Amino acid sequence: MKCREPNVDLHYLDPRLVALYDTDNPHGADTDFYLRLASKIGAQRIIDLGCGTGLLTRQLAVSDWWVVGVDPAPAMLAFARQQPQAERVEWREGDSRVLGTPQADLALMTGNVAQVFLEDDDWAAALSDLHVALAVGGVLAFESRNPERREWETWHRDATFERLNTPDGPLETWLDVTHASQGRVSMLGHNVFTETGEDLVVGSELRFRSHEELITSLTDVGFGIEHIYGDWLGGPVTPTSPIMVFVARRLDRR
């Protein structure tokens, strides 16, 4: 666990693609869910691990809560720091190892960040770091795509093709899965700037852990499961649920 390296792909490193991230991933039902959760539990100290461009992070900070946004991608953080309300957030470059022990009330991993931890040891280490960073009774919340839904089977050019107008000219994007086996899905994301013909091909890999695997991983490091939802409105998890939203609490034990 001492040799963990963040899994960062070109989507989070190329400034042209970073600038489009919030357009592709705008404020939505997921944002509203996490904002409601923070308000419901009365959180005053909040961690956003894998904060990206800080869309949610900055909204949390508007309420004068102490908020730290952590991300391993310098270009994402550079973009985040230039946005409105950015000065209210403490931004840190790195992974869960930079969290320390702030005695936070709430820790979040949004945007399916949980799926970038490919190896079980790395996932367990991140959960352990979050457990240490939270106060006893503090809440951890995150979502992960439901493997039973097999969403990756629709990640091909015909289903994912988009054409966008960007400051760098027209852009065509699509996904192609190259391999899927034993809970791991590899894909190529194509980003073609049509005026120049430049194709930024981004290789990515995601881990699809099962409902049971995620429960075990949380309880093993000392979290108690409070809720598992199958959508952003609090519905139950079913085989057709697109996501699994976990809300867990740090217990006073390890």
214 pLDDT more than 90: yes
Task: Tell me the CATH class for 10-147+209-250.
Answer: alpha beta
Do the Cβ atoms of 56 and 34 come closer than 8 Å? yes
**In whole numbers, what is the pLDDT of the chain averaged over residues?**
91
Contact, 119 vs 7, CB < 8 A? no
Q: Which of 67, 103, 109, 108 shows the shortest CA–CA distance to 88?
A: 67
Number of other CB atoms surrounding residue 20 within 10 Å: 19
Model confidence over 176-190: pLDDT tens digits? 999 999 999 999 999
- The helix (run of H) or strand (run of E) holding residue 105 is strand 104-109
pLDDT at 1 > cutoff 80: no
pLDDT for position 100: 95
Instruction: From 69, 56, 60, select the one nearest 28 (Cα to Cα).
Output: 56
Model pTM?
Answer: 0.91
Q: What is the pLDDT of residue 28?
A: 86
**pLDDT given at position 9:** 55
Please compute the mean of the pLDDT values over residues 201-220 and round it to a whole number: 96
- Overall average pLDDT of the 143-161 stretch: 97
Domain boundaries in the chain?
A: 10-147+209-250, 149-206
Q: How far apart are CA 83 and CA 151, in angstroms?
A: 32
C-alpha–C-alpha distance, residues 36 and 25, integer Å: 19
Tokens, residue 76: 């994402």
DSSP states of 172-221: EEEEEEEEEETTEEEEEEEEEETTTTEEEEEEEEEE---HHHHHHHHHHT
